[in-house]
Amino acid sequence: MNNQTANQFSQGKISIWTIIILIAVSGVVLAEGILVWQFFQLAKKEVPALKEATEQQAVQAEQHAAEYVFDKFMENRIARQKEQALIYLTENAMEQYSQGKFDLVNDFKSFEIIKSEKLSDFAFRFIVKIREENEVGELVEAVTLFKILDRYYVDSVEIAG
């Protein structure tokens, strides 16, 4: 301390409490700065991971919605409920059906999804193996579902092989 500060301190113009408060305020400001720095370091690491996890959950939810419609469509085909199966078809799939490119109902016994893939934000494709009741034959189809407004519909059915 210089003579003037020492003189002021000795005369009581700068109290010990003023110095303690200045040190405490400086400590709080420094601690806040460190916390802000740590927050931004965490944000750099965690935000992309959180964003990726959220996007992955959204894709899974969309796939689940498409698979639900696909399952209902196939269940109606197996139960030979033609009218119920027809409500899942788009105009494109309806045209394929009317041209005889696939059977809507037949002697189907069960089905198994072999593969599913996301084609776009609005479309999924399911490769499905359909077993016939007589256990003699199996049919493999590629069924594409397309989202219209907030619901998926069967847009195309193609017999594989």
| 25 and 79 co-located in one domain | no
Question: Same structural domain for residues 28 and 70?
Answer: no
Q: Return the CATH number at 115.
A: 3.10.450.50
pLDDT of residue 84: 95
Radius of gyration of the chain (CA): 34
Q: Are residues 38 and 76 in the same domain?
A: no
Stretch 33-59: mean pLDDT: 82
Q: Is 80 left (phi over 0), alpha (psi -120 to 50) or beta?
A: left
**Does residue 101 lie within any of the structural domains?**
yes
Whether 22 and 95 share a structural domain: no
Residue 55 lies in a domain: no
12 compared with 150, residue with greater pLDDT: 150
66 Cβ neighbours under 8 A, 6+ residues apart: 124, 126, 145, 147, 152
Higher-confidence position of 123 and 1:
123
Q: Cα 42 from chain centroid?
A: 23
pLDDT at 106 over 70: yes
153 and 98 fall within a common domain: yes
The pLDDT assigned to 8 comes to 55
Higher pLDDT, 75 or 41: 75
Looking at the structure, tell me whether residues 14 and 89 fall in a common domain. Answer: no
Domain range holding 89?
61-159
Domain shared by 107 and 131, yes or no: yes
Residue 151 has pLDDT above 90, yes or no: yes
Model pLDDT, residue 136: 73
